[in-house]
């Protein structure tokens, strides 16, 4: 799926965070990456936005937010109409799975880093 646009939601400027590592790996795997986080800045040449952007053509949303923090983004994510949402470890949220599936969006409970390293992304 080279070149499909991925939104990293919960992006962090801290190099020890998995969302930060995911941005680096996605870029290294030639994916188009956009990111939203609490603090603005740049990771691997990707701008981290702090407000909800009206991104076009999002293929995948990869979540790095716990289920409680996800609630405020339900409508935003569904409104982006991505092909899939990846729930990374610690982000599992059955309530949101149901909402996404009802909207015709695939749910994947997996680790973005593992998917990339095993050519399953």
Task: Tell me what pLDDT residue 2 has.
Answer: 59
Radius of gyration of the CA atoms of the chain, in A: 13
Position 1 scores a pLDDT of 45
Could you give phi then psi for residue 11, rounded to 5 degrees?
-65, 145
Q: How many domains does the chain have?
A: 1
The CATH number given to whatever domain includes residue 31 is: 3.40.50.720
Backbone angles phi, psi at 76, to 5 degrees: -60, -50
pLDDT in tens, the chain (121 residues): 457 899 999 999 999 999 999 999 999 999 999 999 999 999 999 999 999 999 999 999 999 999 999 999 999 999 999 999 999 999 999 999 999 999 999 999 999 999 999 999 9
The candidate with the shortest Cα–Cα distance to 46, out of 56, 60, 35, is 35
Q: Which domain holds residue 35?
A: 5-117
Write down the residue that tokens 């949303």 correspond to. 61
State the DSSP code for 15.
T
pLDDT given at position 4: 86
pTM, to two decimals:
0.96
| Residues whose CB falls within 8 Å of the CB of residue 82, separated by 6 or more in sequence, listed in order | 7, 58, 59, 60, 61, 105
Give the Cα separation of 56 and 14 in Å (integer).
Answer: 27
């Amino acid at each position: 799926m080279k070149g499909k646009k991925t939104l990293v939601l919960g992006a962090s400027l801290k190099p020890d965070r998995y969302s930060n590592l995911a941005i680096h790996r996605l870029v290294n795997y030639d994916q188009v990456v956009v990111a939203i986080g609490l603090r603005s800045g740049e990771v691997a040449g990707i701008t981290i936005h702090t407000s909800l952007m009206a991104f076009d053509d999002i293929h995948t949303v990869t979540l790095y937010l716990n289920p409680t923090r996800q609630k405020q983004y339900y409508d935003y994510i569904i409104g982006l109409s991505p092909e899939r949402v990846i729930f990374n470890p610690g982000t599992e949220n059955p309530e949101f799975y149901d909402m996404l599936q009802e909207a015709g969006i695939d749910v994947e409970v997996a680790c973005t880093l593992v998917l990339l390293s095993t050519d399953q992304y």
